[in-house]
Each structure stands twice: as structure tokens, then as C-alpha cells.
A and B are shown apart, each in its own frame.
Chain A
Amino acid sequence: MILEQLIDIFLLVFLAIISIAVLRIRDLFTAVMLFGIYSLTSASLFMVLDAADVGFTEAAVGAGISTILMLATISMTGREEKPLKKKGAMLPLAIVVITGATLVYGIMDLPPFGEPDNPVHTHVAPRYIEQSPQEIDVPNFVTAVLASYRGYDTLGEVVVIFTAGVGVMLLIGRRRKRKEGISNE
């Protein structure tokens, strides 16, 4: 238990260091590399929190696809960030501080982490465990919840991902066609 807390502390300190460095660095390639490290760190944090699927998505999307997309963007634009005009830094700072304070206030009356009598363990979970083999006839509880009890939710997620895929294909496909037209002329 102490060891897990030690790992947590180390990883959170890494996140803080990397975030500040990304903010201060002007070379965009370095920023992309640091973002890759950031994603790997938060993926490790998710793994410590026992959320293997979230950590896996974070590593695949954050460290894998995002890095490649950012590099593709840099190869089309440029590597140096334009120097920022310093004005009006107080308002964003105030907004961030207020939002953070609100979030901290919001988590204060959350039930303690991992307690067996938390609502998440007493509300619907027993019904899923006891009834889902008869009601849904799927041996895996998680599959039963995702595919049947929360079927509309999953359908919405699929629609969102499909829309995003169509959007990306429209953007990339159109660009390639235009390039071919130029080379044919």
C-alpha cells in the first residue's frame, strides 16, 4: 500500500514537471516529445488506479496516435512557436484558480476510495451480479452491462466514433485527391 502511494507521488510529480516544461518550451518538437512522456505517465497512473482499459486507451491515443498527428502537423507548419505577447494573464489565472477550487470543493463529499459500502458497490452492482446471467445470458458481467443494460449509451459512443472517423476520412481523402490533381496537370 505504501509502495503504491510512493509510485503515485512520483508519477504525479512527473506530471507536474512535464506540464510546466511544456508550457515554457518554445521548440514544438520538444513539446511533442514531452507530451508523449506525459501520456505514458498518466497511462501508468491509470494502471495504478486499476483502470487498465483507460490506461491502454491513453497510451494508444495519447502516446501513439497524438504524437504522430502532432509530428505530421509540425512537418506541414514549422518547429518554432511564435513568441507570445504578454497581456491579460490575470483573467485566465483567476478562471483556472476558481475552476480548480470548485473541483476540489466538489470532490470533498465524495465517498472514500475503495470502501465496500460505497453507493457504487451497493446500488446496481448486486443486481448485475445476481440477475444478469438469467436476464442477459452473457457469462461476462461487464459485457452484459455494456451491451445490454447500457446499450443506448454504447450506441451513442459508436455513433460518436463513427462520426469522428467519417470526418477524418473526409479531411484526409480530400487533401490527397487535390495533390494528385496537381501532379497530373
Chain B
Amino acid sequence: MILAAAAIAILVTMLLAIVRALLGPSIFDRMLAVNMFGTKTVMLISLIAALAGRADYLDIALVYAMINFIAMIAVMKYFEYGTLGHDGETTEE
């Protein structure tokens, strides 16, 4: 029962994140929405781990969190410098 409530809460939050990614007037709304969606995916996978009784899924949830983080870093770097090949030292240009 508590799992069902958690699942519905997470799915509704995912839906709200999608709505924000679709509507989001600024770029940062969309970036935040994707980041949030990734976090919710991690939570959903943890929930599936609890549902299926498989603790090894938790490791996968952790790796998802890391992938999400790296992708977000890349997106933000692209927005800060306009390119992905920037070394981050010459910000004055």
C-alpha cells in the first residue's frame, strides 16, 4: 500500500516534470525539468527494486544518478561557454 502511494506520487511528479519541460519558457526550466526527471527515474528504479525484491537494482539506480549528473554538467557547460571543447580557464573571451 505504501509502495503504491509512493509509485503514484513519483509518477505524478514525473508527469509534472514533463509538463515543465514542454511549457518551460526559459532554457533553465527545461534543464531543471530533465534533471528532476532523472532523479525521479532513480527513485522509480529504487521503488521497482523494492517491488521486485531485488536489492541489486539499487546499484543501477546509483549509476543512473551519476549518468544524470554527468549529462547535466555537459549541458550546463555548453550553455556557459557555447561549446563543449572549452577548457574553462579563459572565461574573459
A interface list, Cβ under 8 A from B: 3-4, 6-7, 10, 14, 17-18, 21, 29-30, 33-34, 36-37, 40-41, 43-44, 47-48, 50, 52, 55-56, 59-60, 63-64, 67-68, 71-72, 74-75
How many chain B residues touch A (Cβ–Cβ < 8 Å)? 39
* Contacting residues, chain A, for B52 (C-beta < 8 A): 50
Give 29 CB contacts A-B under 8 Å.
Answer: A3-B4, A6-B8, A10-B14, A30-B21, A33-B34, A36-B34, A36-B37, A37-B17, A37-B18, A37-B37, A40-B37, A40-B41, A40-B64, A41-B14, A44-B45, A52-B56, A59-B67, A60-B63, A60-B67, A63-B38, A63-B67, A67-B74, A68-B74, A68-B84, A71-B78, A71-B84, A72-B84, A74-B78, A75-B83
| Closest CB in chain B relative to A42 CB, distance in Å | 10
Q: Mark B46-83, 1 if CB is under 8 A from A, else 0.
A: 00100110001100100110011011001100100011
| Closest CB in chain B relative to A114 CB, distance in Å | 13
| Closest CB in chain B relative to A7 CB, distance in Å | 6
Q: Secondary structure of the A side of the interface?
A: helix
B interface list, Cβ under 8 A from A: 3-4, 7-8, 11, 14-15, 17-18, 21-22, 27, 30-31, 33-34, 37-38, 41, 44-45, 48, 51-52, 56-57, 60, 63-64, 67-68, 70-71, 74-75, 78, 82-84
